[in-house]
Amino acid sequence: MYKLIICFCLFALPFVSYAQPTGSGVTQGDLQLNTITTAVPFMAITPDSRAGGMGDAGTALSANSNSIYWNTSILNFAKAKSEISVSYTPWLRQLTNDMHLSYVSGYYKLNDRNAVGLALRYFSLGEITFTDASGNVIRDDKPSEFELTGGYAFRLSDKMSVGLNGKFAYSNLTGGLTVAGVNTKAGVAGAADLSFTYYNDEAKIGGLNGVYTFATTINNIGNKIAYSELASRDFLPMNLKIGNSFLAQFDKYNSLVLSVDLQKLLVPTPAYYDFYDGTNTMISGKDDNVGVISGMLQSFYDAPGAPVKDDAGNYVQNTDGSFEVTKGSRFKEELTEINIAAGLEYWYNNVLAIRGGYFYENRNKGNRQYFNVGVGLKYNKFGVDISYLAAVNGKQSPLANTLRFTLRMTLGENNNSSTGDDKPE
């Protein structure tokens, strides 16, 4: 157990260090703004209020009905035989008042080794007025997207489980509008999630008993999407997540959960282009027009880094005709693509929960940086969770002041084969 925790700390330390502003050598300022974009980003929005109150660090949290989004494999370690939940999130209220994300999910444990889950996600972009090039109104529309997910979890042993999700996503952003003579269409995708969990409910740190969970997932492995026959196809938000959590049980009434996630998009980084000799030229990086599997692998080594310029501001070329890149800048840019999420959850008597967390994304990769707080109440078979997001950069962030609401209900008898009743979910 101690070796496992020490290994995780040693593993996470360099990522935490390099994902933050760098010191000597290559600095953040040496790296250009290079955000990775994908199609259907709504598939990667945190839907539930529990993880939403803990900095979005939900990969290794104890199982509940929202685990089909975070980590299906952990469902086999759930206490209750089944649970359903409904979540609602008003979205980007700094920009508009009619966008929202709705999420309905649930699971059912078939037996000690098998569990299934189902979830439906619906994202409304509100009312949008389409106009032509002259500003004349064509029509009003309400674009929307949805995702249907089915999951299966299989328990390998007392402490390990694997999970598989199948997904169907439908994204109708234009309503079939014809733009410049080109017919648009809805984006359709099929995708899969893979997940693994190691769960030890007899863990100890010193004399403190608790539950240690290690989990890793790869989400949204699926086909690229296009919204017209002529448009280029974009990747889904394929994502690698590595999560660790420890539930410290102080006594019968008090417990504390610490959860930490490392998250990385498995999508190619855009290459760096600039005009050279009058031609738009790839200065550094790699072509991102590749297949899904190639793109996932390429995402680990394709960062363009910082091209070298001479005193006159011209790019420096190597003897083979390629352009010189600052030593170490490619590797450091790869590290800046790792997001860090961390959260705490305090439970009193398994009735009242108080949560807090922080999410960090490098400013060159999107600059999502925010604190979360949340509360949860549980009575008998019902639970309600509420979370609030406070962006570090305040009103400049469209995510500022985001609220999430979740209502949960457990069904069936408790199954105590894997955890005790006094350990919160």
Residue 313 lies inside a defined structural domain of this protein: yes
Q: State the pTM of this model.
A: 0.88
CB 35 within 8 A of CB 366: yes
* Percent of the chain scoring above 90 in pLDDT: 70
Is 419 part of any domain? no
Domain assignment present for 357:
yes
In our burial notation (b when 16+ CB lie closer than 10 A, e otherwise), range 186-212 reads bbebebebebbbbbbbebeeeeeebbb
Residue 107 forms part of a structural domain: yes
Is the residue at 125 inside a domain? yes
Q: What is the pLDDT of residue 44?
A: 95
- Looking from the CA of 247 toward its CB, the CA atoms found within 13 Å total 25
For residue 336, being part of any structural domain is answered with: yes
Full pLDDT tens readout for the chain, 425 residues: 334 433 444 334 333 433 433 333 445 557 888 999 999 999 999 999 999 999 999 999 999 999 999 999 999 999 999 999 999 999 998 888 889 999 999 999 999 999 999 999 999 999 888 877 777 788 888 999 999 999 999 999 999 999 999 999 999 988 888 776 778 899 999 999 999 999 999 998 887 889 999 999 999 999 999 998 877 899 999 999 999 999 999 988 999 999 999 999 999 999 999 988 889 999 999 999 999 999 999 999 999 999 999 998 899 999 888 999 999 999 999 999 999 999 999 999 999 999 999 999 999 999 999 999 999 999 989 999 999 999 887 667 888 899 999 999 998 765 444 444 445 65
The Cα 322–Cα 276 span in angstroms is 12
pLDDT confidence of residue 229: 82
The per-residue pLDDT for 344 is 98
> Number of structural domains, the chain?
1
Instruction: Tell me the CA distances in angstroms from 100 to 90, 92, 148, 352, 362, one per residue in order.
Output: 4, 8, 17, 27, 26
Positive/negative CA dihedral, 75, 79, 85, 88: negative
151 contacts: CB under 8 Å, gap ≥ 6:
68, 72, 75, 107, 116, 117, 118, 119, 163, 164, 165, 166, 193
Looking at the DSSP bridge assignments, the partners of residue 90 are 100
Residues 6+ apart with CB under 8 A from 358: 55, 341, 342, 343, 370, 371, 372
What pLDDT, on a 0 to 100 scale, did the predictor assign at position 397?
81
Pairing type for strands 402-414 and 382-391 reads antiparallel
13 within domain boundaries: yes
Both structure tokens of 153: 């979890």
| Residue 19 located in a structural domain | yes
CATH at 266: 2.40.160.40
User: What is residue 417's predicted lDDT score, i.e. its pLDDT?
Assistant: 42
For the record, the structure tokens of 331 come out as 């590797």
C-alpha span between 111 and 50 (Å, rounded): 26
**Could you read off the pLDDT of 34-73 as tens digits, one per residue?**
999 999 999 999 999 999 999 999 999 999 999 999 999 9
**pLDDT at residue 394 in the model:** 62
pLDDT at 222: 97
pLDDT at residue 413, as a whole number: 63
Structural domain that includes position 292: 2-414
Characterize the bridge pairing of strands 137-141 and 338-348.
Answer: unpaired
